[in-house]
Structure 1
Amino acid sequence: MPEQVDVEELAVALRASVGLLARRLREMPAAGELTLSERSALSRLEGGGPVTSSALAKLERVSPQSMGATVRALEQRGLVERRADPDDGRRVLLSATDAARELVGQRRTQRAALLARALGSGFDRGELELLAAVVPLIERMAERI
């Protein structure tokens, strides 16, 4: 009879291992040396399209004041632009610039290459297949948090 999985122990182990992986990827030198909050907001803008500063703050789970400071810093670097909302001229939408999209794309490519090198050295075919099978499960778990 199969042993039952202790979900509390599994949660602790997953948090530790996924946290370690995320930290290692974040520690990789960043092009343009953006802060973590700047990278996160910029990535969300790049992937999600135009949004108001208050909506971005909610998505990032930070205060509107904190997001305002982040957006100003990104604007000063030419990575974020403001435009009037075509549906409501009183609102301002933020969007990533071409320079931002290039920066985010470079960073993603660098991190993917780093992961590919790690996977290509020291994992056998069965382990790689197991990791590939787990990816959708991790995504589904993240969506439920």
Structure 2
Amino acid sequence: MDSELADLAEAILGVGRELRMRMDAGVAGPATSETAVVHLTASEAHVMRHIDHHPGVTPSDVARATGLQRSNLSTALRALEQRGFVERRTDPHDARGVNLFPTDQAADNLTRLRRQWASQMARVLGGDRESAAAATALLQRVEAGLVADRLG
């Protein structure tokens, strides 16, 4: 058995859980209007992340890339639009279609969230930025491989 690989998957899940718990509990310190982060559900965050990385993407492409059912995607998009995080624009090549774009409000929220994540990582890793960069590269490779495998 490839226990090292199973251990890696388990560690990934554990780190994600700890980050979510810390942000939900406000471990990064008291929130002010300048530091408060609007928390998203897991589905909303997954959708938002894809739209952030691919501005102008179509809803169909988001559904395929995220693996969400269309009904779950529609629910997440409605919530993101209500929060002012996603804007729908008519597709310039096909007036029947729409493209999805992150808003400035979404970018501000992401900046605050990344600041909190960086603070958490700095606290637990200290100055070990070299290992952080290597771990990031590995995890990006793992994510890309898993997505490619799922999309076939």
TM-score range, shorter chain: 0.7 to 0.9
Runs of 4+ in 1 over 6 A off after TM superposition: none
Cα pair 1:51 1:93 within 8 Å, conserved: yes
Identity %: 33
Cα pair 1:43 1:104 within 8 Å, conserved: no
Q: 1:141 to 1:118 in 2, by over 3 A?
A: same
Partner letter of residue 110 of structure 1? Answer: Q
Could you list the runs of 5+ residues in structure 1 that have no partner in the other structure?
1-5
For 1:77 and 1:45, how far apart are their aligned partners in 2?
15
Show the 5 A alignment for 1:60-71. 60-71=66-77
For 2:123 and 2:108, how far apart are their aligned partners in 1?
22
Greater Rg, structure 1 or structure 2?
1
1:9 pairs with 3, 8, 31, which one? Answer: 3
For 1:50 and 1:81, how far apart are their aligned partners in 2?
10
1:81-112 CA-partner distances (Å, limit 9, x unpaired): 11101111110111111101111121112112
1:139 matched to 2:133? The reply is: no
CA RMSD of aligned residues (A): 2.0
TM-score normalised by length of structure 1: 0.81
Partner letter of residue 142 of structure 2? Answer: M
Q: Give the drift of 1:134.
A: 4.2
Number of residue pairs matched by the alignment: 134
Could you list the runs of 5+ residues in structure 2 that have no partner in the other structure?
25-36, 147-152
